Chains A and B, each alone.
Chain A
Amino acid sequence: MKYLKNVATLSYNAEKCTGCGRCAEVCPRAVFAMDGKRAAVTDRDRCMECGACARNCAYGAISVSAGVGCAAAITNALITGGEPSCDCSSSSKGGCCG
């Protein structure tokens, strides 16, 4: 299953890649694959912007605007004017996580 086309904020600069393979290791959507000594993006539309690759690229080759893809959280943020945050830890509301 894939989500909307051309919305993922993932960007990858192959020139900074050292081929360590961490991005391919951590991506739960197989967006990165090792192509010889460098990582390659297989399909950007598969990206769910979890941020695991960027967090684990020690060479700054990957950037992604990561966040909670939760409609309730984003709607709340639109109303209250804050950053979307998943409210799972509060007991007041049935959050998205469990």
Chain B
Amino acid sequence: MRDSEKIMEKTSLKPLVILEQGRVPAAPRVAQISCCAPGARASGSAAVCAGAFGADSVPEILGKAVIGEIETSYGRVPVVSADISRRDRWNELRCRLGNFRMNYAIPPGIYAVGSPRPDSDVLVSANYKLSFDRLRGALAGRDLWILVIDTAGINVWCAAGKGTFGTDELARRIGIHGLGGMVTHRRIIVPQLGAPGVSAAEVKKRTGFRVHFGPVRASDIPAYLDAGLKATPGMREVGFGLVDRLVLTPLEFVPAMKMFPLAALIILAVSGLEMNGILFGAAWRNGAPVVLLLFAAVVAGAFLVPLVLPFIPFRSFALKGFLAGAAVNALLLHGVDVLPGRDAYLTAFSYLLFPVISSYLALQFTGATAYTGISGVKKELKYALPVYAVFCVLSASALVAWKLAGWGLI
């Protein structure tokens, strides 16, 4: 007897929950877990199974989060803990810092928290592990079902914007996992930030389930449930406070820094460029301060602007970035006096280029904020891109003039 069969038998003998068999129209008893196994998509088969996997085949990514399983008439459902482990937190950090988040998906399907019954509420989540952790972490002491839908490992808000956290996928998952047979009620709680992709009316028409939009933040879910699925106005609004902005800065700063080594190398090479070759002494002496100015421009645009966003004048991100970049540039040029000999051409080059770089990077942050819309960003780009181009040409001219002056040609 294979291990999976042993566990099936064991759990069949001692089920935590047995749903009324009679309610389930010809429910195929799920003897194998392949139909919703990680990687297996939708499948043309009519097999219905609730959970994504059994306790014997918990995917590595979920680790200690799965603490048991519940036998239902649609198969086994993994029970997840509300405890967020140290590894989960470490992985969250990795998501915040880089591309680790691109491959942080859990298998879609039904999960359980506590010991849910057929009349327990169903919460819908994206299959991005970070979203799932936020959700289960808020549900300590509750008995609930979680329906994880396939958003390709993207969070609820971004996936809803693209439509992958959407009406079609939600309706499909309700069918695939036999939710209608598993629960006796017809209500599902969808995160409010999924609303751009989910039409409640359409879901109701297709599945019979009435969508209740839950609060924006998972931490408000217990209060929302206790109030009888009623959200206070505060639960409905997205915040964008200091911490919200701070956690987003690494993904502005780190990608921006990818180009930095190459740019620094070019700056050093140009700085050392003489009529008869590249002089290393000159490269370092003239180039290092410019590399520092470039670094400061990246910090200003990708870190400083997000951090002190509300305190920089203007609503436009391009202007906020330009202002922050110009201020930092001025501080280094005149406050710290980084440029040797206060060369006029280099000073002009610095003012023409670096605030524009900060501005460009600040504009990128519009993709991550909780209050900017596409029309505004389009308007900003319409004005900013030509200005950027002009400033780049002017700064390049200043650089050429600096070199020519250095060689005694002008």
Interface, chain A (partner B; CB < 8 A): 1-5, 7-9, 22, 25-30, 46-52, 55-56, 58, 65-75, 78, 84-86, 88-89, 91, 94-98
Main SS of the interface on chain B?
Answer: helix
Interface centre among B102, B195, B238, B255, by most chain A C-beta atoms within 10 angstroms, is B195
Complexed CA–CA distance, A96 and B154 (Å) = 11
Contact of B366 among A58, A70, A85, A97 (CB under 8 A): A70
Residue contact A74 to B378, C-beta cutoff 8 Å = yes
Shortest Cβ distance from residue A47 to the other chain B in the assembled complex, whole angstroms: 6
Q: For chain B, give the interface size range.
A: 35 or more
**Which residues of the partner chain A approach B358 to less than 8 Å between Cβ atoms?**
none
Known contacts A29-B237, A84-B374; is-contact A52 B196 (Cβ 8 Å): yes
Interface, chain B (partner A; CB < 8 A): 95-96, 98-99, 101-103, 130, 152-155, 157-158, 160-162, 192-193, 195-201, 213, 216, 231, 233, 236-238, 240, 251, 254-255, 309-310, 315-317, 363-364, 366-381, 385
Contact of B367 among A2, A51, A73, A89 (CB under 8 A): A73
Residue contact B201 to A56, C-beta cutoff 8 Å = yes
Known: A86-B162, A97-B368. 5 other contacts (CB 8 A): A25-B231, A26-B192, A29-B371, A49-B375, A86-B367
**Which residues of the partner chain B approach A65 to less than 8 Å between Cβ atoms?**
374-375
Residue contact B161 to A48, C-beta cutoff 8 Å = no
**Nearest B residue (CB) for A55:** B199
Contact of B196 among A8, A55, A95 (CB under 8 A): A55
Complexed CA–CA distance, A68 and B255 (Å) = 19
Complexed CA–CA distance, A22 and B50 (Å) = 30
Complexed CA–CA distance, A67 and B161 (Å) = 7
Complexed CA–CA distance, A53 and B146 (Å) = 25
**Which residues of the partner chain A approach B309 to less than 8 Å between Cβ atoms?**
1
**Which residues of the partner chain A approach B381 to less than 8 Å between Cβ atoms?**
71, 74-75, 78
Residue contact B236 to A28, C-beta cutoff 8 Å = yes
Complexed CA–CA distance, A49 and B368 (Å) = 14
Complexed CA–CA distance, A73 and B237 (Å) = 25
Shortest Cβ distance from residue A84 to the other chain B in the assembled complex, whole angstroms: 7
Residue contact A89 to B154, C-beta cutoff 8 Å = yes
**Which residues of the partner chain A approach B193 to less than 8 Å between Cβ atoms?**
28
